[in-house]
């Protein structure tokens, strides 16, 4: 059965309050829609741990830059609802723009220091928009747990810092990245890729897999690992590399010596499509 569709913030808050009666928990899965198996895995994880599950669908304009893909970001609410029916989601909160940002809206959340590098540098204002909408969703839907995918690694760290800094009473749960059979991380933006571009995009997982192999063979100089990733990406060829770096798992600063828990962060463009990925350096290569 399809989940109940709620578009009013007040109605959504009432539904969560009713679901959180004593002894029962609510899980929230924030998304921008265009759902794929990665999103559905989050809904499944929420269902396994919580008594009630709410998925939010809102394409948040404040996290897009002026030359980014807000206008063409894929939207198909009816299809999303059909997919969520298979995951026993209780309800979907899909507000319109004015429900979240009414006329005269002017309050924003300034993200913490972990937002300054990488995506923060490449997409100024992006994490300000992310933190603002996520905080609003957490207040509208006061759930017990919130589920996010590891693919957006820096975003998760930014949200974790916000939750800690602002004493928010919600637990952040991070689930593994879901990949297609060819190794490419699932993303709504993969729909933009032509067949030829998708083949070139496979250099992304190939790059971090190469770094993992080098590390397993004793290479712990991050400059060498990063150079190897860049070579694979450029040979593909990837059209533009924003970054392909080896960083500390919490601060996201570049490391001087690579460790098993160091994280490989990548952001590239294939054609006009920007894709991100990450992997733990000492993790098993899928």
Cβ-contact 253, 157 below 8 angstroms: no
Bridge partners of residue 5, in order along the sequence: 92
- Whole-number Å distance between alpha carbons of 217 and 227: 16
Angle, CA of 100, 106 and 107, to the nearest 5°: 80
Spatial CA neighbour of 225 closest among 185, 252, 182, 265: 265
- Whole-number Å distance between alpha carbons of 74 and 54: 21
- Whole-number Å distance between alpha carbons of 183 and 199: 11
User: What residue has token string 């603002």?
Assistant: 132
Residue 110's CB is within 10 A of a number of other CB atoms, namely 10
Instruction: Indicate which residue of 39, 79, 230, 248 is catalytic.
Output: 39
- Burial classification of residue 125, based on how many CB atoms lie within 10 Å of its CB (0-12 exposed, 13-18 middle, 19 or more buried): middle
Please report, for residues 49, 64, 96, 140, 264, the alpha-carbon distance to residue 276 in angstroms, rounded to integers and kept in the order given.
28, 15, 27, 29, 11
Q: Is 60 helix (H, G, I), strand (E, B) or coil?
A: coil
Active site residue 39: yes
Please report, for residues 39, 108, 265, the alpha-carbon distance to residue 133 in angstroms, rounded to integers and kept in the order given.
18, 9, 24
Annotated catalytic residues are 39
């Amino acid at each position: 059965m399809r989940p109940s569709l709620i578009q009013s913030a007040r109605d959504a808050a009432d539904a969560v309050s009713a679901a959180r009666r004593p002894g029962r928990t609510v899980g929230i899965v924030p998304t921008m829609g265009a759902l794929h198996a990665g999103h559905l895995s989050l809904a499944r994880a929420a269902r396994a741990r919580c008594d009630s599950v709410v998925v939010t669908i809102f394409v948040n304009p404040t996290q897009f830059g002026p030359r980014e893909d807000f206008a063409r970001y894929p939207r198909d609410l009816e299809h999303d609802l059909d997919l969520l029916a298979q995951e026993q989601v209780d309800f979907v909160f899909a507000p319109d723009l004015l429900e979240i940002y009414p006329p005269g809206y002017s309050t924003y959340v300034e993200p913490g220091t972990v937002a300054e590098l990488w995506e923060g540098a490449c997409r100024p204002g992006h994490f300000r928009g992310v933190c603002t909408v996520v905080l609003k969703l957490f207040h509208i839907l006061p759930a017990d747990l919130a589920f996010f995918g590891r693919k957006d690694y820096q975003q998760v760290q930014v949200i974790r810092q916000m939750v800690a800094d602002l004493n928010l009473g919600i637990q952040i749960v991070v689930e593994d990245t879901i990949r297609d059979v060819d190794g490419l991380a699932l993303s709504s933006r993969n729909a933009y890729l032509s067949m030829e571009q998708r083949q070139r995009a496979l250099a992304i997982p190939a790059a971090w897999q190469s770094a993992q192999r080098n590390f397993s063979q004793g290479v712990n100089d991050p400059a060498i690992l990063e150079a190897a990733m860049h070579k694979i990406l450029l040979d593909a060829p990837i059209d533009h590399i924003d970054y392909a770096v080896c960083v500390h798992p919490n601060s996201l600063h570049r490391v001087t010596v690579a460790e098993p828990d160091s994280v490989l962060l990548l952001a590239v463009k294939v054609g006009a499509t920007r894709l991100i990925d990450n992997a733990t350096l000492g993790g098993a290569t899928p």
